[in-house]
Chain A
């Protein structure tokens, strides 16, 4: 990205680079040296992706806290009720998995949650510090033999309501799930 005095930054360039608002605010004075700053600043502030990070204890209350923060964040980006309902479910199910199955309610192990979004998409990552698992080993809850099992539907919900869901084994252990929903 050209940041020399007098240069201009295309909003599309900013989106493509998934630059976050804190970076953009630092860049604005440089980018506006030879231009009228009032319009570009307003425009940039409404379209630039943002990010929020949470570190939560491994307890049931963290699920509600993460869901509330996700809703506030998504509303701030202008998403509507149906979109937010999907985000809410995905956050609750993924944080539930991290607290219950990943960290097994171990208060020494945090759950790290992050939200990033633009008006077009919303990304959620949730990381635990448990022993990890292979998503391919999770039984299909819609298989007739599993229909009456009490647990095991969270991943199905995450996949059903988000456009992309991927699991990773990050350095340092645990599991990280990354989910994306597009407008």
Chain B
């Protein structure tokens, strides 16, 4: 069974990625990297990553979020995070990455922020 599943939804020109499972070294991180690359290849560069279903993330997974963020920025796009679990929020706070990412609890509010 895959460590992670990534479902894709479209809300206007914003692509929402609903992640569930584990974003860890190996399969989980690679799947996320491939998903972001594919979206950027399709010209989709407004991305909202919903982490509500992510039960576990390690430093490699956090690194992959950072890598996704910079890859999207390089393409002139924006990547924002939605519905962090408490654990992920703690890890982003420890790493001071809460100062880097735009983070939302409410999807409608997050989508409005892209306009």
Contact = CB atoms under 8 A, between A and B. Distances in A.
Contacts of B66: 147-150
Contacts, number: 53
Contact of B67 (A63, A150, A156): A150
Nearest to B26: A60
11 contacts: A60-B26, A63-B24, A63-B25, A63-B26, A92-B58, A100-B25, A149-B63, A151-B59, A153-B63, A153-B95, A160-B94
Interface string A20-64: 000000000000000000000000000000000000000010010
A119 interface: no
Contacts of B69: 148
A154 interface: yes
A157 B62 CA distance: 11
Q: Which of B58, B87, B97 has the most C-beta atoms of chain A within 10 angstroms of its own C-beta?
A: B58
Chain B CB within 10 Å, residue with most, of A89, A150, A151, A154: A150
Interface string A131-174: 00000000001100001111101101100100000000000000
Q: How large is the interface on A (under 10, 10 to 19, 20 to 34, 35 or more residues)?
A: 20 to 34
Interface size class on chain B is 20 to 34
Given A92-B58, A150-B67, 14 more contacts: A63-B26, A93-B59, A96-B25, A96-B60, A141-B95, A147-B66, A148-B100, A150-B63, A150-B64, A150-B66, A153-B59, A153-B62, A153-B63, A153-B95
A147 B97 contact: yes
Given A89-B58, A96-B60, A150-B64, A157 B94 contact: yes
Interface in B68-115: 69-70, 87, 91, 94-97, 99-100
A142 B95 CA distance: 6
Contacts of B64: 150
A142 to B, nearest CB: 5
A58 B58 CA distance: 18
Interface in A95-148: 96, 100, 141-142, 147-148
Contacts of A60: 25-26
